[in-house]
Structure 1
Amino acid sequence: MSCIEFIEPVVVAAQVASAFYDTGLLMVVKERYNVTSSNSSLTNSTDHGDNAQQTAVSDFLMIYGMISGFVPFLPAFFLARLGDKRNRKIPICVPLVGYMLSRLMLLLVILLQWPVKVMFGAAVVYGLFGGFSSYWAGVMALASARSDETRRSIRLISIELVYGIAGFIGSIASGHIFNMFYVSQHQGVMLVGISVFLYIFCLSYSIFVLKVPKTGRAPAILPHGQTVDNCGTGGSDNEPTVADGSLTSGTFDLISVVLLFAGAILYDVSVSGAMDILPSFVIKEPLSWGAEQIGYGNAAGFVIFITSFLGVYVFSKCLRDTTMIIIGMVSFGTGILVMAFVRKTYMFYIARALNLFALIPMPTIRSLLSKQVKGSSYGKIFILLQMSFTIASVATSPIFTKIYQATLVWFAGFCFILSCILSVLAIIPIVIVGYRTGRHGYTRLPSN
């Protein structure tokens, strides 16, 4: 990688900025919908007021999430095609502009006391520039293009590790910064201001410092994992495929590709559905978290990136990719099942500890899919996967939210049980892929 600058500085700074923004947005929304202290007729009792606030906050987060997920659909696919054909910076840099502008809008909401619903417009701006779908697919495509297939799972999970460590640091710091620079009428202004500054840094680094290989070619793989690499001037798209340590060739296995997509989508719906509800869950009674506790809770989630990286590093030496994916899905399902019964803060951290391998499935599935296509199609295959996640999340987010609101009084953790069931269902197509590839190995799809 001597001919290319690392993408890690962008991943680190962007994720710290995102952690600051997430805490700031949630606290601003919580304050604006703090109906328990209003004179509304809905707040005849503390419990009634808390439930009304929960409904308002969860509705806001649902709409915001749906806009953020749906709007990037076409822009992200267009940016991915440009990245494959012209320059892999495009699907990274353009979304960073959207990130910066949308975070700037939250800063204005705080400073000028605009209605919090202005953030729906910020979500549209964020989406029109490609959003996370384009940004993360671009990062994964760049990392895949520069990695040996035999070690690609490690390379992709290492990017996830950097992402997770940055999120951990950002989440821990966010609550302290929020409280340290708290101003009653402008709460979160320092937190969001730093977030905007970090996105400016990311964009500047990506445009002026980051160097990427020419697109349309993948580095040729030599024995012992070495590559022929002249910053995009060498290599071929016709190299043999490496899968689970063995070379294969022949007609591609479309069924396995479809099954990988199915397993990934089910698992993503399971995770995103639970994570959509979690912010509302922790700010309600009996947990009733403040800014610092929210930061610590988010940080606990990012520790999973570290443990998942260690899991892949160790398991990849003795287990097949599909087995690692199943271990990750079982880990998440177990932890989120325990989360359904959390009533004390320490129980929350026990549930999170059980999720220690929950991040293994997604980068490993991406690694398996990248082994099916030529290097010139990495951007397209990753954006198709990311767009599948988007469609599924947009469709299921309101379902999870409405189920949460309907079960809020008698069992607020019901959605987490539903999430656990979906994670178990996601294991089924992965088991089938493991059986099929154990017999036939992997083969490469044509680039079109």
Structure 2
Amino acid sequence: MKPLFSVEPIVALYILANMACNILIQQYIYRQIWENENNSSYNENKNSSNCYQNHSSHTKQQVIQENASRYFMYMNLVQLVPSLITTLILGGFSDCYGRKLFVLLPSIGALINSLADLAVAYFSWSIYVLFVPAALTACFGGLPALFGGAFAYVADVSTRKQKNMRMALLDMIVGVMGGVGALSSGYFLKAAGFNWPFLTITLINLVNIIYIIFFFKESVEVSRGEENQKLFSDNCKEILSRVLIIFATSDFRKRVQIGLLLLAIATFSIAEFGSLGLYTLYELNTPLCWNEVLIGAGSAAELCIFLLSFCGVAVFSYHFRDIFIVFIGTLSFAGGMIMAIFATTTLLMFLVRLVSLFAFMPFPVLRSMLSKLVLPCDQGALFAIIACLQTISSAISTIIFNNVYAATVEQFAGFGFLLAACLCIIPVGILCVLSWWKSQEQENSRLLIEDDSI
């Protein structure tokens, strides 16, 4: 069969399966913890939830929330560190060995993960067994590796005019398929329980692997000579040296600006990733007491924000400077977090997503601002730094926000959202400094021109 130059189906199938699997396994773990604490089966009722109303039962509910929060934190930590290392290795060597391995390994990892979830649900094994396949799956790269390979592949096979279009298309696929996966998972769970959804996800991952092996055409000519064999070890030194060159070859002004923008990305990533990780637990808790369908719908609405944010970047870029676009996105996110603190009804929780309409806009714009500060030959090293920084920030946010939520869930369950809103002060302050700096540079340039003309 003729191979195809198309990575979009791989991303679509991976995101569909990955998002549905994440939503389902969170609810499965939560129910298992609930059953262990209560020594009874989880009560599924279409008209009511498993939230408690009296004081003693409410206290038990908070214990379940704390245990689930800590479990998710440890699970994310087990996955993030190996995933970071594997992504860096695959990113450095894909130029020599091709992009196919870059997207195949994460897909194999996803298959292993879904098989493990199916086995645990079917045989009713302990949820702590899931730590082993989680660590093994992370060694295959996971979502960061898949995104890195997909964007690199698009850059290989696209002309200069096509690159923006196809990269924007990948972002749209992530939002649409993620929303479909999140929304369908709730209905599928209610109709068939956990086993059939996990089996379906496993089959989707298997189809994805078959497509990559038999239909996906390599974009890089892979040489089997001795020169490329040596590059496998040499690339590690080259990546590290290029990271240092970015700062060494820049003047003081650019080094400060790069450092400030990287700090802005790191703090905003901690706030965004940390708060989003609390949504499912917060929605399962009183007074919302959401069921699986509402959780899926909420996650789908959240991923629609991702799409609308990129549409906002496209529109606002014609009218505003980059800094003001980041301002709008940061304020939109902070407003949504403040509203989430007071979201005690289903309507208000969905309105949180409406207020957060442009919450994802800062990420692409901050990357663009950084890209403009370095030389074209240093772009790869720059985005490697950004990828590592966001992965580390995600790990830090998991530790901070899950521990904060576990400690405050009984007294003030919305404190994590308040913390996220407060963290936005740092990137806003950085943007104010950079905006003032930019105005000062323009003023100095104008004065120099006037002096020269006299």
TM-score bracket for the superposition, by shorter chain length: 0.7 to 0.9
SS, match of residue 429 in structure 1: helix
Count of matched residue pairs: 399
Q: Once the two structures are aligned, what percentage of the paired residues are identical?
A: 24
Corresponding residue of 1:398: 399
**Residues 361-418 of structure 1, C-alpha deviations (whole Å, 9 max, x = no match):** 2233334445566777655443432221222332342222222122112210011010
Q: State whether residues 333 and 424 of structure 1, in contact with CA within 8 Å, keep that contact through their aligned partners in structure 2.
A: no
Map 1:36-75; keep pairs closer than 5 Å: 37-38=38-39, 45-75=56-86
Q: For 1:94 and 1:374, how far apart are their aligned partners in 2? A: 31
Deviation at 1:423, TM superposition (A): 2.2
Q: Is the 8 A contact 1:175 1:293 kept in 2?
A: yes
Alpha carbons of structure 1 residues 366 and 99: separation in structure 2 relative to 1, 3 Å? farther
Matched, 1:198 2:199: no
Q: Which residue of 1 aligns with 2:34?
A: 34
Q: 1:178 to 1:77 in 2, by over 3 A?
A: same
Deviations 1:309-338 (A, max 9, x none): 221221122223333222212111111111
What amino acid is the match of 2:329? Answer: G
**Residue equivalent to 2:448:** none
One-letter amino acid matched to 2:84: F
Q: Report the residue type matching 1:191 in the other structure.
A: P
Alignment partner of 1:22 is 2:22 = yes
Q: What is the CA distance between 1:140 and its match in structure 2?
A: 3.2
One-letter amino acid of the structure 1 residue matched with residue 383 of structure 2: F
Per the alignment, residue 409 of structure 1 pairs with 410
Deviates most, 101-110 or 194-203: 194-203
Match of 2:110 in 1: 99
Contact 2:70–2:406, Cα closer than 8 Å, also in 1: no
Partner of 1:226: none
Q: Give the counterpart letter for 1:199 in structure 2.
A: N
Would you say 1:137 and 2:148 are equivalent positions? yes
User: Match for residue 91 of structure 2?
Assistant: 80
Partner of 2:229: none
RMSD, aligned CA: 3.0
Deviations 1:37-65 (A, max 9, x none): 327xxx98220121111011111111111
2:278 aligned with 1:277, yes or no? yes
- C-alpha contact 1:83 1:379 (8 A) present in aligned 2: no
Q: In structure 1, the residue corresponding to 2:107 is in which secondary structure?
A: helix
Tell me: CA distance 1:363–1:194, structure 2 relative to 1, closer, same or farther (3 Å): farther
Find the counterpart in structure 2 of residue 185 from structure 1: none
1:117 paired with 2:128, answer yes
Q: How does 1:30-429 map to 2 (within 5 A)?
A: 30-35=30-35, 37-38=38-39, 45-144=56-155, 156-182=167-193, 188-211=194-217, 213-214=219-220, 253-371=254-372, 380-429=381-430
Deviation at 1:435, TM superposition (A): 5.8
Between the aligned partners of 2:166 and 2:128, the Cα distance in structure 1 is 40
Change (3 A) 1:213 1:437: farther
**What is residue 13 of structure 2 aligned with on the other side?**
13
Q: Distance in 1 between matches of 2:203 and 2:435?
A: 45
| C-alpha spacing 1:147/1:162, structure 2 compared with 1 (3 Å) | same
- Secondary structure of 2:125's match? coil
Higher helix share: 2
| TM-score, normalisation: structure 2 | 0.79
Q: Which runs of 5+ in 2 are unaligned?
A: 41-53, 223-248, 443-454
8 A contact 1:154–1:313 mirrored in 2: no
Residue 134 of structure 1 aligns to which amino acid in structure 2? A
